[in-house]
Copies of this chain bind each other. A is one copy, B any other.
Amino acid sequence: MGELFETVAAQPPQDKRRVRVIGIGTGDPGQLSGEAIAALTSVAYVIAADKGGGDPLLDVRRRLCERYGVDLVAVRDPERDRDDPADYPGVVRDWHAARVDAYADVLAECPGDAAFLVWGDPAFYDSTLRVVEDLAARLRLACDVIPGISAPQLLAARHRIVLHGIGQPILVTTGRRLADAVIAGHDNIVVMLDGTLACLELDPDGWQIWWGANLGSDDEVLVAGRLADVADDLLRAREAVKARAGWVMDTYLLRRVEARQVPSGA
């Protein structure tokens, strides 16, 4: 996106074919903004990855397209070669290139503007923008982005909390990097992409947690409390929602108990 390294205009040129990247929030169609609905209904079709096996995220996209009368082109997601952990960057690079090739084929065959629907917000832990950047460069397309409600925001809303103490910073990170964040002394940490409740490795008396799974879906579950008090609840809730929904995606806020801004209930 070299053109952005000077003062930029917000909107892409109107005469170019467009790829629109639309944040759809975390499952509840009520989370779509008016701008997102307008973008969705403006395109000729939506391109969506199909990871196979009744991909629940594909189902969400399909239901949105049906609701708004937009065609969906499902593209079988290329297999990642998981047998070569020694060359992980290379594996990701190849997988990324295979995705770009597959989507470029669709765009070559199907005329009109296209959209990608991104779970949550395209600005956080999502590869769609990197794929679309390559596509746009290769096919000389314009691209725009419509933000969506991300899981940490819905987590905060459901628990009715501000994510940080007054004037304090907030770190957003992954389960894999949680230990680094704790060592670095952060007091307010939002964890995304954690498949294994990495928080259970922390000092259970040192942290307050606000946790949510499958936020925005019918199977949404919330747990909050001192880690020492709710560790079993977390494990049970996570298993239960997985059994019920067939998938689980969780997000949580950790706050150091010693931190200055402990909510009044603590």
B181 touches A126 (CB 8 A): no
- Of the candidates A149, A167, A177, the one having the most CB atoms from chain B within 10 angstroms of its own CB is A149
Q: Are A162 and B8 in contact (CB under 8 A)?
A: no
Other-chain contact of A34, B6, B23, B30, B264 (Cβ < 8 Å)? B30
With A30-B38, A34-B31, A35-B31 in contact, do A158 and B145 touch (Cβ < 8 Å)? yes
Q: Of the 9-residue stretches A49-57, A76-84, A104-112, A220-228, which lies at the interface with chain B? A: A220-228
When C-beta atoms are compared, the residue in chain B nearest to A154 turns out to be B147
Query: Which partner residue on chain B sits nearest A145 by CB separation?
Result: B157
B1 pairs with A129, CB closer than 8 A: no
- Contact residue among B30, B122, B126, B130 (Cβ-Cβ distance under 8 Å from A33): B30
Q: Is the CB of A146 within 8 A of B157?
A: yes
**B174, A167: Cβ atoms closer than 8 Å:** yes
| Interchain CB contact under 8 A, B172 and A170 | yes
Cross-chain contact B35 with A162 (CB below 8 angstroms): no
Q: Which residue of B is nearest A226, CB measured? A: B5
A10 in complex: contacting residue of B148, B220, B230, CB < 8 Å: B220
How many copies of the polypeptide does the oligomer hold? 2
Interface residues on A, range: 35 or more
A145-B156 in contact given A4-B265, A266-B5 (Cβ < 8 Å): yes
Asked if B162 and A129 make an inter-chain contact with CB atoms under 8 angstroms apart, the answer reads yes
In contact, B143 and A147 (Cβ under 8 angstroms): no
Q: Is the CB of A7 within 8 A of B163?
A: no
The 8 Å CB contact of A224, one of B4, B31, B160, B210, is B4
From 81 to 124 in chain A, residues with beta carbon under 8 angstroms from any chain B beta carbon are 92, 121-124
User: Given contacts A30-B38, A168-B177, could you give 10 more A-B pairs where the C-beta distance is less than 8 Å?
Assistant: A3-B265, A4-B210, A5-B229, A7-B233, A10-B158, A31-B33, A122-B156, A126-B162, A130-B166, A150-B153
